[in-house]
Structure 1
């Protein structure tokens, strides 16, 4: 009797692979929906590449667009984008777990591991409780933001339109997406001196960008001394980077007639500098004319976009804790100390290695994509670098290159947005073959470095 060979069998996939495939499926669904004729106002469907780019930007909460959102998409298309932003920001696993909870299903170990990977948490315990908190907190904060924005915009657009505008921009801001409905790629430049719009949007994307673990830790501990080291570092680094960004932009752009120099009052200049100082980490809205920024301000913006926000939130970049650990590790080496210590705590060496790995891997990805774009695109190097870091950091700011990208350029930037949202190391883990641990160690030998 011949042996029956099964042509197919289930392949086990790890949480990193599940997360990556989930985002790909969501992007594919969004692409198909945005290609529908009634998704666009002229009833002519988007090309596959443009729809793919828009869907990737929404799911990866980036905000780079090749077509203007307000003038191109119908209400249906705008709702599709809003839903993609919401699901992409929270993570499809979060929604999957909530649906399972509503249906009365038990969440097994595999589900908890995928939540841990999705929300970038250190420990597996309390994952279901964290998901419930994340969803509830998100909807409450987005609702408050939507009401404030709707009331403010009711004076400009009338009640029905202002309500949708408030909801769309609140979801876009909290999830650090940067999509807007202002038309003609203007973002919110017309509201540079409006404290209600500026402070509401900035509060939304700062809260969304610091990470859900930090928010939950604050709610539970309610005391600075009791907060975890992670929460303290995220809050301190966020405050420092926001203040530093604001001061630098205010100083560098104060006399620039194309940006702050063209504003009449000191209040408008302060609000303009503040918003641009905090928005690169990583919301994507802009109140200043980005192509008019000085080279120094562009450099500051690129650095802030690369650093990003807090881990486990809606922000991108290498994350503020990664950046801080790098600085701390370098300082420790310079002081010739053995351990990396901060606030009477010692940082484990595996976290230091991981921080260096994330930074080196991210830098390599950025420069590789930059090199490719120098071949496919006809633009100055600073414009290309700005675009690449914006896509990698899922920021969504551009010096005007995005609508002018070639077809290969759109595909490359789409891929980079996906890498930035999933995380470079997560994607590497998903693609790499798992190696078995060796039962021995090789002989150690030193080499000269530096």
Structure 2
């Protein structure tokens, strides 16, 4: 009887609650669908928190009594953002299970970065005008609106192929030359191959690759993997499809390849001159070892995070040049970080054309639109602002010198992972600063660049112009 009396009153309440939940879900759905870019930070945060929870399990760490909250959170952020900065030794603090979790986070983070960047490019093109879509299609030659499934499959195929090839070479080297047990050799080979292709820089060796600085069978395969991963999926797929299409290379392809080649060659030359006779770094090596070490010095800062020398012993000139390479980074829609090569080169061409008095920014036989120039300038200045704020914050929170703190902040923002050795000495507040820089550098640049492109619209009116005094 009592139930029969109350049910008419409960039903309207239940309907009201369901309606409220349905309305809230609808608003949330519209919030994300109106701008898909908003899904990027949410998705990354979900994976990061899940990874941190798994790293906090007793099975993940060697010492069950060691503090785990901040190490787990920092390591998860660093792995998913494919950075490589660590506050605890990966080889001794984490168990094989914990290292496997880190490897999975690196793979998920790298795959997510490549696919999200590329898929956002498809979304952006779909949201642009027909004329802009046609212009974009003629430039890329590779990305079409119906290619979502193909994009996912090709990214997975390319990732696994490169990782498997590099892992095989490293495994044989560790086993046959360095006498690692077969199982250990396979694990070391796979871990470093996945870490290299995803530009993560995590290593199961306490000194990273310092012990292999003069071994070409270790340094060159790792460098090849990180360079390929850092080129970006649009460049890789265009290179693979060119023999069939016989189309002219896109501007994006040319800028990325030429920029990568120039940075690698010029960086290697300068690093060799700076460190050739320094006994703390390359001075004690043979000529071949010095050249290989100089190549590693210019390849690894391109957001890979491995180190074949102790950066705590490097010269101030080397650290400043490394800061520059880290901030520039690698190719767009890849596993590399930084502001990206194309962003840097577009700004460089803008300066060059301004000096020559051109009213357009010309790259070869093509012109760069003003909207792309503004996007490049926005991404670069936001990067400078992020590094500046992070540097000031760490200087206020620690007693470390400006050189070391600036190096740490650029490394975090550019998702590189190199360090002069101060990461483990930072207080919890300092670690949070680096976490913010890593997240901003990895997710923020993708989100900002895509959001700026999605907001591009043509005004139906023109305002009067003025010319403030410049310089």
TM-score normalised to structure 1 length? 0.89
Which structure features the higher share of helix residues? 2
d(CA) in 2 for partners of 1:350, 1:114: 14
Q: 1:110 to 1:394 in 2, by over 3 A?
A: closer
Give per-residue Cα distances to partners, 1:116-151, cap 9 Å, x unaligned.
Answer: 99xxx9765223212211110110110011111111
| Corresponding residue SS for 2:465 | coil
Q: 1:383 to 1:328 in 2, by over 3 A?
A: same
Contact (CA 8 Å) 1:23, 1:92: kept in 2 or not? no
Q: 1:45 to 1:115 in 2, by over 3 A?
A: farther
Confirm or deny that 1:258 pairs with 2:285: no
Instruction: Return the match for 2:395 from 370, 374, 382.
Output: 374
Contact (CA 8 Å) 1:386, 1:398: kept in 2 or not? yes
Contact (CA 8 Å) 1:19, 1:114: kept in 2 or not? no
Q: Show the counterpart of 2:201.
A: 178
Contact (CA 8 Å) 1:20, 1:430: kept in 2 or not? no
d(CA) in 2 for partners of 1:340, 1:93: 28
Q: Show the counterpart of 1:9.
A: 24
Confirm or deny that 1:298 pairs with 2:319: yes
Map residues 136-215 of structure 1 onto 2, 5 A cutoff.
136-155=157-176, 156=178, 157-183=180-206, 186-215=207-236
Where do 5+ consecutive residues of structure 1 fail to align? 98-108
Give per-residue Cα distances to partners, 1:355-389, cap 9 Å, x unaligned.
Answer: 11111111011101111111111100000000000
Q: Give how far 1:424 is off.
A: 3.2
Larger CA deviation: 85-94 vs 295-304? 85-94
Q: Give how far 1:15 is off.
A: 1.8
Q: CA RMSD in A?
A: 2.9
Q: Give how far 1:341 is off.
A: 1.1
Contact (CA 8 Å) 1:37, 1:45: kept in 2 or not? no
Q: 1:430 to 1:436 in 2, by over 3 A?
A: closer
Larger CA deviation: 136-145 vs 341-350? 341-350
d(CA) in 2 for partners of 1:435, 1:214: 24
Q: Show the counterpart of 1:247.
A: 269
Q: 1:435 to 1:198 in 2, by over 3 A?
A: closer
Contact (CA 8 Å) 1:291, 1:399: kept in 2 or not? yes
Contact (CA 8 Å) 1:58, 1:85: kept in 2 or not? yes
Instruction: Return the match for 2:355 from 334, 346, 349.
Output: 334
Where do 5+ consecutive residues of structure 2 fail to align? 1-11, 128-136
Q: 1:142 to 1:249 in 2, by over 3 A?
A: same
Q: Show the counterpart of 2:5.
A: none
| Corresponding residue SS for 1:91 | helix
TM-score normalised to structure 2 length? 0.85
Confirm or deny that 1:400 pairs with 2:421: yes
Give per-residue Cα distances to partners, 1:281-336, cap 9 Å, x unaligned.
Answer: 01010111111110000011000000000001000000011111111000111111
Larger radius of gyration: 2
Q: Give how far 1:41 is off.
A: 1.2
Contact (CA 8 Å) 1:284, 1:395: kept in 2 or not? yes
d(CA) in 2 for partners of 1:277, 1:399: 16
Count of aligned pairs between the two proteins: 432
Q: Give how far 1:203 is off.
A: 0.4
Give per-residue Cα distances to partners, 1:76-106, cap 9 Å, x unaligned.
Answer: 10000000000001107949x9xxxxxxxxx
